[in-house]
Structure 1
Amino acid sequence: MTKQTRSERNKPKKKKTVSKILLKTTLFFLLILVAGGGYVGWQVWSDLQSTTDDMYEGAEDREEHASRQDKPVDVNSGEDAFTVLLMGIDNDGDNVEYGRSDTMMLVTVNPNTEKTSILSIPRDTYTEIVGRGTKDKINHAHAFGKASMAMDSVQNLLDVPVDYYLSVNMESMQQMVDAVGGITVTPPLSFTQGEYQFTEGEPTHMDGEKALAYTRMRKKDPNGDYGRQLRQRQIIEGAMKSVASVDSIVNYRDILGTMGNTMKTNMSFSEMQDLFSNYRGAAKEIEQDQLSGSGTMMNGVYYEIIPDEEISRVQNDLKAELEI
């Protein structure tokens, strides 16, 4: 039975399948291996290994109390529920190791219930930054201590294990969009950003520069940062769908090259393969939720304060989904 969350009651239901983004990325890897065949297949495998080496960035320096010490998640078995912290990093270069995580979503995947849940976390959420002993906006954790501090801070806020992370640099997503030949997105509202015009409900083909402009706008969106996060998810999903297409096989080197710069993760290539092999069924049912609160000014700085009852609601839902 699918639960109806508070955000689903107030907004039209949208199933933005972030779990499928991860699975389709792996599907692309498998497709080009099969399509290559013989010597070419081995060459592709070598290129894939090189790319995953570039993408891999461990999170071993996490706080001891904050990591899953008792029983590490085992995706090879295909039985463990797990979580992935998806972050869109805001900085001026290609490097995704530093910068604020202006988009944060916690994805939970449960193979036993064949269900995936996506929780959006407001970037201005006022909470403890684990490892610094202070309270601040949750999106500052990544800037202070990279992925490890962001994972620990989200885990501390929600009281559930955060097993993996996937960080994407929105600036370098421009390269990814161009590498896949552009993407088509349907804007949820009409607006102008720079030299580009976007029309509500009208499918729009975008190259990398136009896609970046599409994600940059925030002040003209009646939903503020929530609206911007939706448009960022549209761009990421569109890019990954294109990556997963058979047509992308012909220019896989360009795509892999941009992925090495665009993404960082603590998932190994073998774990990505396990996700595709063992967790495809979990994409059958997708549920979205939004951690929500109210804005306030403290010492001249805007924060989003999440009520205790809202945090408890989300914690209980996540624990039920993770069977803990």
Structure 2
Amino acid sequence: MMEPRHRPRKKRHPIRNLVIVLILALLAGGTAYGMHKYQSLKNTVKTSYKASGVKKLRNVKTQLSEKKPISILLMGTDTGALGRTFSGRTDSMMVVTINPKTNKTTITSLPRDTAVTIPGYEDYGVSKINAAYAYGKSKTAITTVQQMLNVPIDFYAIINMGGMEKIINEVGGVTVKPTLSFSYGGYTFKKGVKTHMNGKKALAYARMRDDDPKGDYGRQTRQRKAIMALLAKSGSVSTLLNQQFISSLTKQTQTDLTFNDLTALATNYLSATKHIKTTHLQGTSETINGQSMEVASKSELQRVTTYIRKGLGLTYKKTGSIADMSATNTATTSTDITGNSGSTGDAGGSTGGPGGGY
């Protein structure tokens, strides 16, 4: 039974947008190194690789080689700062599209408490979307997002919380103009006053949860501002590159992007990341089975589906049903994730799904 709540429940922090910085930092400018350093960097990057176990819905190698738009599911955990491994629930989930044809990037945040029926775990009933990773790691997380929004996920990347502090310290800190005044973690922030922050201070700014009148959505805004400040401070991605830094960072990261995939991104997709637009899935706080969850309306789910598909250059498709709590049957249903009807598409291969338009 659903009971509407008038005040959103305060949530623990999610780490947002960090992995896109990692993706750019890992490889851009790598060929400028001598062959010995280049090979060393390649071997270091390989340590962060881990296949998701999901059969790709598209031939991602062809997408990259032909400079077509790609999508990445970015996830963040709160375990890195405590020195633990990739486990538990994700504190953040974002779908990033990078389109070198339009030179645009989109970032869509998915609230960690979004109510869904997780594919393969329907017997558990309605769950929070951040449980998908806890149930079945990246494979289940990817499957859940694909079926919820009816979009193809080409790659994933997950980073531990400690990575954000490390990156910011590596560039000498960031300068941010706070969106509101508050104190947290031993630091004080004043609205509208430019503040220089080291890694710990920036993390405190990004994770505060109790004093933001907009709740988790306000916090997402602060986190995006911190990340944009990081990008501005770095000047160029190559300033983030050094062997020790990458070695430390890859220990906190898992992804199914290979070294060659990252090379393709750095070579052909970098300009698209200079034009970033962001949005988030907006829900309403409701109590389901005794838990506070964010329930997205069918029209809001459709808006986000259309937004992401547009970023990928795909045609209109209906959203999935596993997050539609108004449906009489919330069990997972088969959804059509292909688009661009009438196009020939790419032939399936070892890294791709069946042929057909996307």
Shared fold (TM-score, shorter chain, > 0.5): yes
Match of 1:132 among 121, 130, 143: 121
Which residue of 200, 205, 216 corresponds with 1:214?
A: 205
Deviations 1:143-180 (A, max 9, x none): 22222211111111001111111212123432333333
User: Distance between the aligned counterparts of 2:93 and 2:17, measured in 1?
Assistant: 15
Tell me which moved more, 136-145 or 276-285. 276-285
SS at structure 1 position matched to 2:145: helix
Report if aligned partners of 2:49, 2:258 keep a CA contact under 8 Å in 1: yes
1:256/1:122 Cα in 2 relative to 1: closer, same or farther (>3 Å)?
same
SS of equivalent to 2:91: strand
Shift in CA distance, 312/194, structure 1 to aligned 2, threshold 3 Å: closer
Say if 2:171 is the partner of 1:183: no
Instruction: Tell me whether 1:76 sits opposite 2:67 in the alignment.
Output: no
Give the corresponding residue for 2:334. none
Q: How does 1:61-140 map to 2 (within 5 A)?
A: 62=54, 67-68=56-57, 71-72=59-60, 74-91=62-79, 93-95=82-84, 97-133=86-122, 134=124, 135-140=126-131
The answer as to 2:142 corresponding to 1:144 is no
Paired residue for 1:6? Answer: none
CA contact under 8 A between 1:78 and 1:274: conserved in structure 2? Answer: no
Distance 1:136 1:195, change over 3 A: same
Greater share of helix: 1
Match for 2:270 among 280, 290, 294?
280
Distance in structure 1 (CA, Å) of the matches to 2:211 and 2:128 = 23
1:253 aligned to which of 240, 243, 248: 243
Q: Does 1:55 find its partner at 2:55?
A: no
Shift of 1:142: 1.4
1:309 Cα offset (Å): 1.7
Cα distance 1:248–1:272, how it changes in 2: closer, same or farther (>3 A)?
A: closer
AA aligned opposite 1:127 = V
For 2:153, which of 143, 146, 162 is the aligned residue? 162
Q: What are the Cα deviations for residues 257-300 of structure 1, in whole angstroms up to 9, with x where unaligned?
A: 22112222111111111112222343464332221121111233
Q: Which stretch has the larger CA shift, 224-233 or 157-166? A: 224-233
Q: Percent identity?
A: 35
> What amino acid maps onto 1:167 in structure 2?
I
* Alignment deviations for residues 198-243 of structure 1 (CA, whole Å, 9 cap, x no partner): 1222222222222222222111111211122233334444445556
| SS across alignment from 1:49 | helix
- Structure 2 runs not aligned, ≥5 long: 1-15, 315-338, 340-358
> Which residue is equivalent to 1:46?
39
Matches within 5 A, 1:305-316: 305-316=295-306
Instruction: Give the TM-score taking structure 2 as reference length.
Output: 0.73
CA contact (8 A) 2:28 2:237 kept: no
Q: Distance in 1 between matches of 2:279 and 2:295?
A: 17
Which residue identity lines up with residue 46 of structure 2 in the other structure? Answer: D
Aligned to 1:302, which of 282, 292, 297?
292
CA contact (8 A) 1:171 1:212 kept: no
Number of positions where the alignment pairs a residue of Structure 1 with one of Structure 2: 295
**Structure-1 separation of matches of 2:286 and 2:17:** 32
